[in-house]
Chains A and B, each alone.
Chain A
Amino acid sequence: MSSGIVIGYDGSECAKEALRVALEVGKAYGDRVVIVYGFEINPLGGGEIHEYRSAVREVASERLKEAIAIASKSGSDGIDVEAVIVEHAPAPGLAELARERDARVIVVGTRGESPFRGALLGSTPHKLLHLADRPVLVVPGPGGG
């Protein structure tokens, strides 16, 4: 079975940096690169969940189209690129998808955020390190890290 590279992508600068690295790794191993956009709707908000969910999904699709464009521009010929929307909190969503696909490695970017913000909101890379059952490659963002 061919292994894959799972990369968490949200369209930010650091995610683009992580995507660049993920494509490199994918090329080196001849692995498929699975670009994942994860999001979660807070049920506490209630109300028009359906419309809100479709609105966020549209944003996610836009970002993934950009990611695919970046991948094809960077000359990703020879490797498979797949884009996936995972409707789940990003860290457990990535960990679970990587397990399902038996990925070689999970790639994520770090924003270089302040430790306070990370502690308050929880940072995806940090949570991922605890949740993942396989290697995680953390890529510092441009100017961050």
Chain B
Amino acid sequence: MESASLVEPTVVKLQADGKAFDKGLKSNAIGYVSNLVIAVASTAPAYSMAATLGFVMLVSGIGVQAPAIILISFIPMLFVSMGYNYMNRADPDCGTTFTWAARAFGPQAGWMGGWGIITSDILVMASLAQIAALYTFHLWYASPSPSSIGVLAIGIGWIVIMTWICYIGIELSARLQQILLTVEVITLAVFAIVALVDVYSAQATSAAIKPTVSWFNPFDVSSVSTLGTAVLTGIFIYWGWDSGVSVNEESEDSARGPGKAAVVSTVLLLLIYLVVTTASQAYAGVGALGNNAGDIFAFLGPKVFPKPINLILIITVLTSASASTQTTILPTARTSLAMARWGGIPKTFGHVNPRHLTPDVSTIAFGVVSTIWFVVIDILSPNNVLGDSVDAVGFMVCFYYGMTGFACFWYFRRELTKSVRNFFFVGIAPLLGGLSLAGVFIVGMSYYGHQKNNYSKDLFGLGLPDVIGIGLIIIGLVLGLIFHFTLPEFYSRKPEVADPQLLAQSR
């Protein structure tokens, strides 16, 4: 179906005083396939699995319940994403926790939400850089120690290159993204099928175990502490899925297209994660995956596939990590750009490069801070950058996703009793999502407060993930206080309540 006009021009006519004026613009429409690609690519399945699966297996008392964790981790993310969906209606285009929390709870909460986004993204860069560096070595069949200087150097190079790519605005074409993602999904599927066939024909490793229904039952997880801590890790693999779903608000056929893309991407992701987790665990057993937590695909690849073919798996993890790096840097830079334009942080972060049209100051600042953080965590946790990063990111994601859930409930509080649909989807679901993430946050904090559960040595008597999580929230509060006094215009804004029109018009 051809739309009436591809372009909706804005006329900037020359006026008598030589000034230009500007009419409103229509946003770009994107199609169903692009929606799907964005939602799945933002989650980066191959990288997410490589970075987390082994660490889920390391949570004490987890046993064979990893597939159950994958299933149950999705529920709070799904609930909060409903909040994302409705908060998006409060903004003309996509927003983030920063704008939404500022509307619902006031500018100070908005700042903390924005801080949560930015710090999660800085923390995850260390994990991305580490995976990218390790798998670059695996391409050449080299297995360096994760703490080696070579891994650090290649990881830093990776951050620099990806930051530069985002700075000059290089974008892969939509077609190429689709191809890469298709290869990624097919590779993971073939990997899982071959591994499962090997298990049932007794050709897998000696530690192989046949799957049972109990693997998928969350009620078989040994304790609440184990469940909460494993979900803290599990949340990581779904993180990013919401950004594809929020972009859906912009799509061509906003009545039908977005819902369909959200449902299909959700089912696709759940399936990939469940099948790959089950197949990996069945093939190698829990212990072996935990022992190779830093690079499970490099460990499993040559066992499941004959030697040169296993490289496809390595390359898939690398392309997935690149996609994930892009979907980390771009939205973070846009978030700090928006924060600067609203007046919540210094104005310079709102600068747009005149030639590349990218948020240049925000992008470069993000790259620099990420590099510094990668070096710092490499020193603090020489052998477990990955595990500590995933858990610290989990805490910050719980923090700002949880805040989004609460913000939705509170912003629309006067609309909730107007229909059963409003009550459950706009109120209860986001609230439950927020509450369960708060629960995961607390359980995780207490788990990593115990010395025996830490991967690396303690700091101030607490595990490194706890120190990072609490430390960042304290730094956020201090910075917030400074900005409160130095940027009074933004920080004196009052919270808003949803306009009843927002929900009425969007059936």
Contact = CB atoms under 8 A, between A and B. Distances in A.
A53 B171 contact: no
A56 B327 CA distance: 19
A59 B327 contact: no
Nearest to B9: A84
A56 B244 contact: no
Contacts, number: 162
B212 interface: no
Interface residues of B, number: 58
A51 B9 contact: no
Contact of B94 (A47, A63, A93, A121): A47
A85 B14 contact: no
Interface in B297-345: 326-327, 330-335, 337-338, 341-342
Interface string B5-43: 111111111100011101001111010001000100110
A56 B330 contact: no
A47 B335 contact: yes
Interface residues of A, number: 50
B331 A85 contact: no
Nearest to B329: A45
Interface stretch (B351-359, B446-454, B495-503): B351-359
Interface in B266-315: none
A50 to B, nearest CB: 3
A43 B38 contact: yes
Nearest to B173: A122
Contact of B28 (A43, A56, A65): A43
Interface in A75-91: 81-88
Contacts of A122: 173
Nearest to B330: A45
B432 to A, nearest CB: 24
Interface stretch (A20-28, A34-42, A102-110, A133-141): A34-42
A76 to B, nearest CB: 10
A83 B246 CA distance: 32
B334 to A, nearest CB: 4
A30 interface: no
A44 B22 contact: no
A42 B243 contact: no
Interface stretch (B56-64, B95-103, B142-150, B469-477): B95-103
A43 B350 contact: no
B116 to A, nearest CB: 13
B13 to A, nearest CB: 6
A29 interface: no
A61 B352 contact: no
A92 interface: yes
Nearest to B91: A50
Contact of A50 (B20, B93, B170): B93
Contacts of A92: 6
Contact of B12 (A51, A52, A64, A97): A64
7 contacts: A39-B357, A49-B94, A52-B334, A56-B352, A68-B18, A83-B12, A85-B9
